[in-house]
Structures are given as structure tokens and as C-alpha cells.
Amino acid sequence: MPAPRRTPSSTVKAILDFAPLLVFFVANRVADIYVATGAVMATTLVSMAIAHFRYGRIPPMLWLVGVMVFVFGTATLFLHDAAFIKIKLTVIYALLASVLIFGVATGRPLLKLVLGDSFPGLSDAGWAKLTRNWIVFFIALGVLNEVLRRQLTTDDWVTFKVWGVTGLTFVFALAQTPILMRHTPPAEKP
């Protein structure tokens, strides 16, 4: 019988998620967007390998980001055009919003399938509100990226991508706390 899968701690999850972003930012600062693109591709591959070999699986979000990094990163490097790596963010947010919209349209609580272990007592009404809010947030981030990637310098866009998007996502996630509190029974509140 195979050994049970180990679950990475929240610290390890954060490192696996944010290490490629930090490497991207630093590589862009010390070199340029093309070196940064190659560096983020390599670091994402390392994160995926660690997740696979250490924990027995690559989380779905890391798969999505990994595929997008390699598709758009390869286009950026081969065509020597930074527009491809910049549009990757818009495509990721459009895909995430589309998947959640599909879940709503087909009656499948896809956000609950991904995050259910984190909020086990959250009611169906709570999941519906969270899903709606994340759909709006992902669409807004995609639109914001489209505006900023066209107006900012590449260095400024990289700063926005790494620090702005991370900050906005953290603040948005924190702003969802009232929904979590309102729709979770008292004994199961996070």
C-alpha cells in the first residue's frame, strides 16, 4: 500500500508559489525581461518538481501557472517580444474567471472543490458569494493588466505584476473574511 501523501505546510506552499515571482523580479532588475523570463521558467519548473517529488502531486494552480509560463515564456524568448509574457497574466485571469463561470453555469462548486479543505464548514451560500466575488476580481485583474501592460514600461509592469498583483490579491482575500464568518457555523469558523 502506498504511503499517504504529505501535505506541504503553508510556508512551503508560499515558497513554491512566490519563489518564481521573486526570481522574476530580481532577474528583471539585474538583467532584463528576457533573462527574467528564462529565470521564471526555470524556477517554476523547480517548484513543480519539488511539489511532485516531495509531496506526490502538483497542485492545479501550479500546473496552470506552469503551463502558461512555459507557453508564453517560450513565445517571449523565441520571438524576442515581451508582450507575450505580459499578456500571460491576462490569459491566466481570464481562464480562472471562465472556469468559475463554467462551474456556476453547470451547478458545480469548483471553488469549493479547490478550497474546500481550507473552509470545511462554509455553507453553499457562502461558496456562491465567494465564487461570484473571485470571478469579478479575476476579471478586474485581467482588465487592469491589459491597461497597465500597454501604458507602463516593462520594468514598471514587472513591479506591478510582482508587488501590485500580490498586494491586491492579499487585500481582496482578506476582504472576503466577512463572508467566511457569516456563512460558517460558529464551531467551524476559520
Final residue belonging to a domain, choices 38, 58, 80: 80
Please, which residues have CB within 8 angstroms of residue 65's CB and are 6 or more apart in sequence? 20, 44, 92
Residue that the C-alpha cell 501523501 belongs to: 5
Note whether 157 and 183 are same-domain residues: yes
Note whether 125 and 176 are same-domain residues: yes
pLDDT tens by residue, 75-119: 999 999 999 999 999 999 999 999 999 999 999 888 888 877 778
pLDDT of residue 10: 76
| Residue 31 identity (one-letter amino acid) | A
How far is Cα of residue 151 from the mean position of the Cα atoms in its chain?
A: 23
CA-wise closest residue to 138 among 82, 81, 187, 89 = 89
Q: Which domain holds residue 130?
A: 82-190
Final residue belonging to a domain, choices 53, 80, 107: 80
What would the grid cell of residue 142 be?
485581467
Note whether 92 and 184 are same-domain residues: yes
Final residue belonging to a domain, choices 31, 53, 80: 80
pLDDT of residue 37: 98
Note whether 125 and 114 are same-domain residues: yes
Q: What is the percent of the chain with per-residue pLDDT over 90, rounded to a whole number?
A: 71
Half-sphere exposure (CA, 13 Å, Cβ side) for 103? 20
How far is Cα of residue 152 from the mean position of the Cα atoms in its chain?
A: 22
Number of domains the chain contains: 2
- DSSP line for 98-149: HHHHHHHHHT--HHHHHHTTTSTT--HHHHHHHHHHHHHHHHHHHHHHHHHH
Note whether 56 and 46 are same-domain residues: yes
CA-wise closest residue to 183 among 135, 113, 114, 112 = 112
Note whether 187 and 109 are same-domain residues: yes
Of 5-9, 44-48, 185-189, least confident by mean pLDDT is 185-189
Note whether 129 and 95 are same-domain residues: yes
Note whether 91 and 183 are same-domain residues: yes
| Residue 181 identity (one-letter amino acid) | M
Note whether 175 and 111 are same-domain residues: yes
pLDDT tens by residue, 57-72: 888 888 999 999 999 9
Note whether 126 and 88 are same-domain residues: yes
